[in-house]
Amino acid sequence: MGYYEDLEKNRDKAPRKGVTKEDIQKLKDELLAPRFRNRLPKPPKAVGNYTTIKKIGNLIYTSGHVPITEDVKYIGKIPNDQTTEDGYEAASLCAELTLATLSESYDLKKLTPLNVVGFVNCTDDYTEHPKVLNGFTDKLEEYFNSKATRSAVGVFSLPMNVSVEVQTIFYIDE
């Protein structure tokens, strides 16, 4: 159920007079709470001379996140070493890792995704990059009502031979 459907369904719970910012935030938190109960993996640490997150004004930039955890690694070129479906799952994991990184410093409820740039390690004749990156944006949709702009780019190689790398820009409502 989408955000507006949730609001319509719970319309009678909303205060009618003297609505304060706190009342609106409380209702919003109540409606969005199920989305934020999902368990996120341990956020990755920078493995080089960079930071994984940078805030400038109300914009938060994340560095590229790759689909590697202690338990899972998506390595190899799509479609030779990994299928498009594997790539989708790899991109979904990148989204979870991105959200884990963001949640270390910020309240996810105050964020809005603005832009997603995804790189797919693939053969030169591969054309299903958008299907792979849907894994990232579909995962974001579980957490946020607003869709981000997105670019899906095929590349010849990525660091550590990962299948996917994704960087983002978020807006924070402070």
What pLDDT digit, counting tens, does each position of 74-104 carry?
999 999 999 999 999 999 999 999 999 999 9
**Residue the block writes with tokens 């944006």:** 137
Structure token digits, residue 65: 């996140």
- Domains recognised in the chain with CATH numbers: 3-34 (no CATH), 38-172 (3.30.1330.40)
Whole-angstrom distance, CA of residue 13 vs CA of residue 15: 6
Please tell me the number of Cα atoms within 13 Å of 143 on its side-chain side: 26
pLDDT for 39 equals 81
Structure token digits, residue 47: 């493995």
pLDDT for 105 equals 95
Please tell me the number of Cα atoms within 13 Å of 54 on its side-chain side: 9
Q: pLDDT tens-digit profile of 111-146?
A: 999 999 999 999 999 999 999 999 999 999 999 999
Residue 35 has pLDDT above 60, yes or no: no
Residue 15 has pLDDT above 60, yes or no: no
DSSP per residue, 33-101: GGGGGSPPPPPPPP-SSS-SEEEETTEEEEEEE-SB-SS-B-BS-BTTTS-HHHHHHHHHHHHHHHHHH
pLDDT for 22 equals 74
Residue 17 has pLDDT above 70, yes or no: no
